[in-house]
């Protein structure tokens, strides 16, 4: 094979490779040709409220209303006194997470473990009741959140929770977590 032919083949191969690379680079890498673009309403189901309350939906609820919601939707798993059963215990256990007595097992509940009331709201909204997750209205979720927090003596029985005050609820274990020291993981808003 002559040098001219060899160089010509190399040039053709190089141009073919460059053409393929250019075509691949021109494609939108975020589009995979399947599925549909979600609507704003569909995306809203996946937005978690932040500890400071950003992202909480409109609505409100009292512990009195929450008791009725709890009895209708939660009691079967969590018990009549929030003591647990098929589902987890919801109240009690303060001070049991940090102890030096190996015979005294930690009791992990909303009252003893969860650092933010917004996390409780979000969990109930997404995952409860177990047999029909996501079916409670925002008002029902605020109400049952208020009921659980009132039973744990975290808020007053007559307090009404909403998007404006839920984040201000001081949970007993709020200071029980060590912040992530990597600011690049969770940049300030």
Range 45-73 burial, b when 16+ CB lie within 10 A, else e: eeeebeeebeebbebbbbbebbbebbeeb
pTM, entire model: 0.74
DSSP letter (8 states) at residue 167 = G
Nearest one of 80, 66, 76, 36 to 137, comparing CA atoms: 66
Both tokens of 23, joined, read 């075509």
Q: Tell me the CATH architecture of domain 49-168.
A: Orthogonal Bundle (1.10)
State pLDDT tens for residues 8-56: 667 677 667 767 666 665 555 666 677 888 888 887 777 789 999 999 9
Collect contacts of 77-82 with beta carbons under 8 A, ≥24 apart. Answer: 77/129, 77/130, 82/148, 82/151, 82/152
Selected residue with higher pLDDT from 126 and 189: 126
pLDDT mean across residues, the chain: 87
Q: Reduced to 3 states, what is the DSSP secondary structure of residue 186?
A: coil
- Kindly report, residue by residue over 84-94, the tens digit of the pLDDT: 999 999 999 88
CA 16 to chain centre: 49
């Amino acid at each position: 094979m002559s040098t001219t032919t060899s160089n010509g083949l190399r040039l053709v191969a190089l141009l073919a490779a460059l053409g393929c690379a250019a075509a691949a680079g021109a494609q939108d890498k975020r589009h995979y040709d399947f599925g549909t673009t979600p609507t704003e309403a569909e995306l809203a189901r996946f937005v978690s409220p932040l500890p400071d309350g950003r992202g909480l939906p409109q609505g409100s609820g009292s512990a009195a209303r929450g008791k009725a919601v709890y009895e209708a939707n939660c009691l079967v798993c969590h018990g009549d006194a929030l003591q647990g059963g098929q589902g987890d215990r919801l109240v009690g256990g303060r001070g049991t997470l940090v102890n030096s007595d190996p015979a005294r097992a930690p009791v992990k509940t909303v009252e003893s473990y969860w650092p933010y009331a917004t996390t409780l709201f979000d969990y109930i909204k997404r995952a409860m009741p177990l047999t029909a997750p996501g079916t409670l209205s925002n008002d029902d979720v605020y109400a049952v959140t208020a009921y659980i927090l009132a039973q744990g003596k975290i808020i007053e029985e007559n307090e009404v929770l909403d998007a404006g005050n839920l984040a201000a609820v001081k949970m007993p274990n709020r200071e029980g977590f060590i912040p992530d020291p990597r600011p690049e993981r969770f940049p300030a808003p």
